[in-house]
Amino acid sequence: MKRPPVPRERIFSLYWHFASERQHAFERRVSGLPAPWTTDPIIRTYKFCNVFRAADRVSQYLIRQVAYHDEPCSVADRLFQIVAFRVFSNIDTWDSIRAFLGRQPTIRDLKTGMFAEALEEGRRNNGRLYTGAFILCATNAYGQKSKHENHVELFKHLFAQDRVAQRLEKAKSLRGVYEILHEYPLLGDFMSYQIAIDLNYSSLLGFGENDFTQPGPGALRGIRKVFEDLGDYSPAEAILWMVDHQDEEFRKRNLAFSGLWGRPLHAIDCQGLFCETDKYCREAAPELTSARRRIKARFSASTQPITLFFPPKWNINHLLPAKSVFGESIDLEPARQLF
C-alpha cells in the first residue's frame, strides 16, 4: 500500500481556505455585489488566479470565441485554432488575426502565408503577440529569427505536414492527447498539458479531466509548501489526491464550497490552486521561502464586461447569471490568468 502525502497542516489548511474564499469573491462579484468581495486582506490586495481555470478571462474567450464559435470550419481547422490561440494566450492577438483575415484562421492560411501576415500585422499594431501566461520553450527550434515565426513553422509542422488533427481525433485519453502534442518542438510539459485541456473543452474531445495531470513550476513550489512529505506519491498523484479529498477537507474545516455551479474541483483546478497557494504563502507564511519571495501584481478591478460561458457538455450554462459581469485586470505570472 502506498504511503499517502503528509500535509504541513497550517499550509494545507491555507490551501483549502484560499480555494473557498477566492471562489466566494468570484461568486460575489458575479452576483453583482459591490466591492470589496472578500475580507481576506491578501486576496483583497493582490492578484490571484480564479479557482476554476475555465472561468479565467482568457479561457472564457477561448471557449466561446475559438472552441465554440459558429463560423463554418473543419475539425482540423478548429483544432488548429485552439492550439494556436493557447500558444499566444492573447485576446488582442487573436482579435487582430480575425480582423486581418475577416474570419477565423484556417490551415489553408498557414499554407498560403496569410496567417503569418496576420501575425505581423498584429505585432505592428499591438506590439506584443504573447502574454506572460506561460514559460515557452526555446524559440529557434525551426531556425527562424523570432519566436512567432518559429511558432508558425510549428503550426505548419503539426497541421499541414503531419496532419496531427487526425491523430488527436483518434486519441484514447487525455494523456494520449498530451503525449501527441509533447512529441513536437516548442511544446514542453506544461504547455502540452494546457493545450490538451483546451482541446478537451471543445465538443471534439470528451475525456475525463481527472485522468491525467501535469504540474507546472508554480504548482511544484506550492506542493513543496503544502506537504512535508509526498510519501510514495508523485506530484501529479498528489494533485489527484487533493481532487479525491476535497469534500472531506472542506467539511472538516467548515468551509463552504459549492464549486462552479455544482461542478467540483478537477485536476487542472487543484494544480492551479497549488500555484496560487505558493503565491498566497509569500504573504501568509513568508518563512517558507522559494525562488519567489513576493507577489508582484496587485489587484486592480477592470471595467471590461465578460459574459460567462462554459463547455455545453458540462451542463451548467443554464445556471449562470444572464447579465455580463466584470473581469479583473490581467498582469500575469506563470502559469495562468486571473478571471
Question: Tens digit of pLDDT for each residue in 81-135?
Answer: 999 999 999 999 999 999 999 999 999 999 999 999 999 999 998 889 998 765 5
pLDDT value of residue 246: 98
Q: What is the rounded average pLDDT of the residues 275-303?
A: 82
Write out pLDDT tens, residues 231-246. 999 999 999 999 999 9
Q: What is the rounded average pLDDT of the residues 175-191?
A: 96
Helix (H, G, I), strand (E, B) or coil at 309: coil
User: How many beta carbons lie within 10 A of that of residue 299, not counting itself?
Assistant: 21
pLDDT value of residue 325: 64
pLDDT value of residue 329: 37
Write out pLDDT tens, residues 312-335. 999 999 999 876 665 543 332 333
Q: Give me the residue spans of the domains in the chain.
A: 6-56+212-328, 69-202
Does 289 have pLDDT greater than 80? no
Question: Using the 8-state DSSP alphabet, how is residue 232 labeled?
Answer: T
Write out pLDDT tens, residues 23-74. 999 999 998 888 899 999 999 999 999 999 999 999 999 999 999 999 999 9
Write out pLDDT tens, residues 208-230. 999 999 999 999 999 999 999 99
* Average pLDDT, rounded, for the chain: 91
DSSP bridge pairs for 227 = 7
Does 280 have pLDDT greater than 80? yes
* Percentage above 70 pLDDT, the chain: 90
DSSP bridge pairs for 298 = 46
Residue whose grid cell is 491578501: 42
pLDDT value of residue 307: 85
pLDDT value of residue 335: 33
Tell me how far apart the alpha carbons of residues 172 and 167 are, in angstroms, rounded to a whole number.
10
Taking the model in full, what pTM does it have? 0.91
Asked if residues 235 and 290 have their Cβ atoms less than 8 Å apart, the reply is no
Q: Which is nearest to 56 in space by CA: 269, 299, 292? A: 269
Tell me how far apart the alpha carbons of residues 336 and 331 are, in angstroms, rounded to a whole number.
10
pLDDT value of residue 119: 96
